[in-house]
Amino acid sequence: MNRDPRSCGPVCRALALILLILTMPLVAGAQAPVAIGLGQAAERVIEANPLVLAAHQDVLASEKQLSRAWRDYVPTITANARYSYLDDDIALSVNPIRLPLPPAGVTITVPPVHLLDRATTRADVTATVPLFTGFRIASAIRASRHLVKDATAQDTLAMQRAVASTLVAYHQCLLADRLLAAREEAYATVTAHQHRVGLLQQQGIATQYDRIRADLALSEAKRSLEESRNGRLLAYALLKKQLAFPDSVQLALTDSLTYVPYPVDLDSAIAEARGARPEIRSVEEKREAVRAMSSAEFGKMLPQIGAFARYEFIEKSLTQLDPRWVVGVSASLTIFNGLKDLASSQVYDIQEEKLNNMGDEVGNSIALEVRKYHADKTTAEQQIAAATTSLRLALEALRMADLRFSTGSGTSLEVLDAQTAVVAGKTSLALALYNYRTATIELTRSVARTDALFLGVF
């Protein structure tokens, strides 16, 4: 049974009012879109993108490894305790000593000397410090330093790639918006044209063929509009993923798909990229780290010298031969272990040669990448000029075709073809602008202009 809300008592109405007041901010907050520009998108990637955060953790891990390498110089202090139970006490027996003294000789009997109880408890603290390790520790520290620099270069590379891919995804959303707007405009124009064809058919001006052709054009426009809407949803979903936004967030893009001149000299760009790309620095740091690791392995074949000190806590458990405390210096040298250390050193030497070859290849790949994006940018600029002229021509053709059809001197097919040409022109211009801006973004990344990239390039 339905009840009239006005029949509810004052308490019920008061609760309903409170509930409405409490839910209004939530509803408003859920519907409010987040305005974001290219610069803000780049900043959020640096702060929230999972891949960037993972690269930051690699840098922290490498710094901890460097700290650990330094601590090999620090004395090592260990506490030891042990309990032992023997089958019997340990004592030193001395045979009777007979001295040939007149008149009958003298026999001296020495009682057994007690050395160790049957049950003993020992506890001591021992400190050791390396004095010379064949430069093994110093080489490990040097290798860790270069690995920190390598991780930093990889971190910069991850940020550059993440920001560039996010800016491209941002422009995919701008392109999807432009294409959707063109499809919506085309759908509205075709709908109006279909309605006008119906009116002219009633007046005997338009034919049945014109009506069927208008209905077909409307169906195609509706299908294209739905495809554009789906494409826009996917584009925005990708951008939200790059920005680490939940799917429920609505984004409002504040930048637009416009032409902004961005002059870049090719030769200067190649030279700039060779000197600034993180990949080149990464290969160089890896090469130095491998060289230091080779020295560390070779150092194992040199003498190892260290100082030590030990102090016993339980004095009663000591034998007459055991000291209460002791300090000293120890030295060790591996005479032969199957040349394992030499083989390990040679492995790192081979890796160093491999990195030398990789360095040459990385430099050539970077130069080729810069050339490609520079060419894409130049081609897109030419496409923008051509598409702009084509769109102006298509708009004028549509105006004239619509005018002829209204006066009865043109056909419905001319109008629909002209409208298709307008949509194609707007699409071509939007694609040309998208290609130009994305090629500029990738060119900025390939030249390693980090500051410009992090500010959104445009």
What DSSP assignment string belongs to 318-361? --TTS-SEEEEEEEE----STTHHHHHHHHHHHHHHHHHHHHHH
Which CATH number fits the domain that encloses residue 446? 1.20.1600.10
Integer Cα distance of 226 and 61 in angstroms: 49
84: Cα separation from own chain's centroid: 56
The 3-state DSSP class for residue 140 equals: helix
Q: Is residue 319 part of a domain?
A: no
pLDDT number for residue 15 = 45
What pLDDT does 80 receive? 93
The tokens 């005018």 sit on which residue? 403
In a domain, 65, yes or no: yes
Q: Looking at the 3D structure of the chain, how many domains does it have?
A: 1
Q: What is the pLDDT of residue 204?
A: 77
- In angstroms, the Cα distances linking 38 to 45, 52, 324, 437 are 11, 18, 73, 12
Query: For every one of its 458 residues, what pLDDT tens digit does the chain have, with 9 covering 90 and above?
Result: 444 444 445 444 444 444 444 444 444 444 588 899 999 999 999 998 888 999 999 999 999 999 999 998 899 999 999 888 888 777 777 777 777 777 777 777 877 777 777 788 889 999 999 998 888 899 999 999 999 999 999 999 999 999 999 999 999 999 999 999 988 988 888 888 788 788 877 877 777 887 888 888 889 889 989 999 999 999 999 999 999 999 889 999 999 989 999 999 999 999 999 889 999 999 999 999 999 988 888 888 888 999 999 999 888 878 777 888 999 999 988 888 777 778 888 888 888 888 888 888 888 899 999 999 999 999 999 999 999 999 999 999 988 988 887 777 777 778 778 888 888 888 899 999 999 999 999 999 999 998 998 888 88
Taking alpha carbons only, the member of 362, 369, 435, 450 closest to residue 163 is 450
Question: Is residue 180, in this structure, part of any structural domain at all?
Answer: yes
Q: Tell me whether residue 113 is in a domain.
A: no
| Domain housing 351 | 33-88+134-299+339-454
Question: Comparing C-alpha atoms, which of 454, 50, 458 is closest to residue 241?
Answer: 50
Give the pLDDT of residue 314: 86
Those residues with Cβ within 8 angstroms of residue 454's Cβ, 6 or more apart along the chain or in another chain: 42, 43, 46, 159, 163
How far, CA to CA in Å, does 411 sit from each of 163, 174, 192, 230, 405? Answer: 51, 35, 15, 33, 6
Q: Tokens for 249, please give them.
A: 């967030």
Distance separating alpha carbons of residues 272 and 267, to the nearest angstrom:
9
Contact 352, 287 (CB under 8 A): yes
Q: Is residue 84 part of a domain?
A: yes
By the 8 A CB rule, do 63 and 147 touch? Answer: no
**Terminal-to-terminal C-alpha distance of the chain:** 63
Cβ(69)–Cβ(144) below 8 Å: yes
In-domain check, residue 217: yes
Interatomic CA distance for residues 376 and 441, integer angstroms: 11
CA dist., res. 54 & res. 222, Å (int): 44
Residue 305 lies in a domain: no
Residue 313 lies in a domain: no
123, two tokens: 């506890």
Maximum C-alpha span of the chain = 167
At 335 the pLDDT is 86
